[in-house]
């Protein structure tokens, strides 16, 4: 089938402002949007810049706005996205465009680092010397937020983040949630202090764009609500 692909192009080294690149290519309806972008890059215009690695929804590197919604290009089938023979593709919002689909991810990862996204436990290792055991229920408590692949679809779909890039953003809160509710961890209070600051969880206005955008199906807004509740009540349960 024929596809008219509109791609927002911008190379700050030579372009004064972004413009729409328009490409007519042959695709299979079961191809992914990533396949179409690669077809353009490999056969029409090799200067098109985008990130991708696994091509199977695991690495999180090809987040972009597809028909106005944040998605992973490798998880979107052409048949589900095409409208009147056309698909539009733009870079995610709220982060500086370096070239075409490639944005500067450093502010996103700075927010991620700010919530201590690793297990903290200063107790000596258990007798068996291997594992800190927990019950199935304790493990289940934070299971949903372990699925995050740090793609930034959530944070860059959030109006609060667009308005103020200092907002820590839903992805960092999801990562904090993953450790705050882990019975083996001992740094929940430090993370909650970061998240109680002016650019922490209270910037979330419960818009739900993040939940809609998450390619892993994580209940992002629910996780944010649980962190807010822990801050309000002082109870981590």
148 binds, among ligand FES, ligand SF4, ligand F3S, none (CB under 5 to 8 A by kind): ligand SF4
Residues within window 15-54 making contact with ligand FES, judged by CB under 6 A: 52-54
Cβ neighbours for 193, distance < 8 A, ≥ 6 positions apart: none
Q: Which one of ligand FES, ligand F3S, ligand SF4, none is in contact with 207 (Cβ closer than 5 to 8 A by kind)?
A: ligand F3S
The whole-angstrom separation of Cα 33 and Cα 35 is: 5
DSSP per-residue codes, 143-199? TGGGG-----TTGGG-HHHHH-TTS-HHHHHHHHHHHHT-TT-S-HHHHHHHHTSTT
- CA–CA dist 44, 117 (Å, integer): 41
* Smaller CB separation from ligand SF4, 66 or 152: 152
- Category of 13 on φ-ψ map: left (φ > 0), alpha (ψ -120 to 50) or beta: alpha
* Nearest approach, Cβ of residue 198 and ligand SF4 (Å): 22
Residues in contact with ligand SF4 by CB under 6 A are: 60, 148-154, 170-171, 174, 213-214, 216, 218, 220
Q: Using N-to-C axis directions, what is the helix angle for 169-180 and 188-195, rounded to 10°?
A: 160
User: Should residue 117 be labelled a site residue for ligand FES when binding is judged by CB under 6 A?
Assistant: no
Q: Which stretch binds ligand FES (CB under 6 A): 8-16, 59-67, 98-106, 165-173?
A: 59-67
Is residue 91 a contact residue for ligand FES (CB under 6 A)? no
For residue 114, give every residue at least 6 positions away whose Cβ sits within 8 Å of its Cβ, in sequence order, or none: 168, 172, 194
Q: Which is nearer to ligand FES, 41 or 132 (CB)?
A: 41
- Residue 63 binding ligand F3S, by CB under 6 A: no
Q: Which stretch binds ligand FES (CB under 6 A): 60-68, 79-87, 199-207, 229-237?
A: 60-68
């Amino acid at each position: 089938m024929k596809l008219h692909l509109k791609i927002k192009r911008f190379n700050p080294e030579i372009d004064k402002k972004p413009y729409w690149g328009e490409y007519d290519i042959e695709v299979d309806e079961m191809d992914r949007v990533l396949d179409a972008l690669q077809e353009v890059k490999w056969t029409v215009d090799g200067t098109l810049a985008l990130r991708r690695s696994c091509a199977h929804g695991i690495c999180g590197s090809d987040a972009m706005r597809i028909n106005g919604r944040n998605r992973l290009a490798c998880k979107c089938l052409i048949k589900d996205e095409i409208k009147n023979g056309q698909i539009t593709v733009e870079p995610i919002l709220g982060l500086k465009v370096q070239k075409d689909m490639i944005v500067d991810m450093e502010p996103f990862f700075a927010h991620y680092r700010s919530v201590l996204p690793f297990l903290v436990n200063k107790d000596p290792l258990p007798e068996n010397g291997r594992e800190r055991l927990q019950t199935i229920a304790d493990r289940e408590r934070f299971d949903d937020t372990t699925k995050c692949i740090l793609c930034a679809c959530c944070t860059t779909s959030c109006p609060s983040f667009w308005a103020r890039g200092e907002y820590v953003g839903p992805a960092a809160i999801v990562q904090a949630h993953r450790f705050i509710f882990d019975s083996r961890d001992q740094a929940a209070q430090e993370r909650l202090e970061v998240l109680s600051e002016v650019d922490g969880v209270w910037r979330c206005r419960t818009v739900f764009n993040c939940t809609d955008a998450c390619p892993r199906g994580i209940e992002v807004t629910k996780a944010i609500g649980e962190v807010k509740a822990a801050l309000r009540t002082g109870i981590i349960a």
